[in-house]
Amino acid sequence: MPLIFAGPAFKPGQYGQAEMVDLAATLSHLLGVAAPAACEGEPLLRILK
């Protein structure tokens, strides 16, 4: 399933594989809040400016 982010906080380009478990961690990091306690993913820092 493709995962597409767009907006001023994201670097343009293609970054290969991403897992859905990383979505909550990435959005939490972007919003500056703690990731959910059950979050198993890692923030996709390579896509953020």
Annotated domain spans of the chain: 19-49
Higher model confidence: residue 33 or residue 44? Answer: 33
Alpha helix positions (H), the chain: 21-31
Q: Decide if pLDDT at 2 tops 80.
A: no
Residue 1's pLDDT band, with cuts at 50, 70 and 90, is low
Q: Higher pLDDT residue, 33 or 1?
A: 33
pLDDT tens column, 3-39: 788 888 888 888 878 888 888 998 899 899 999 999 9
Residue 33 main-chain phi, psi, to 5 deg: -120, 165
Report the C-alpha gap between 42 and 23 in whole angstroms: 8
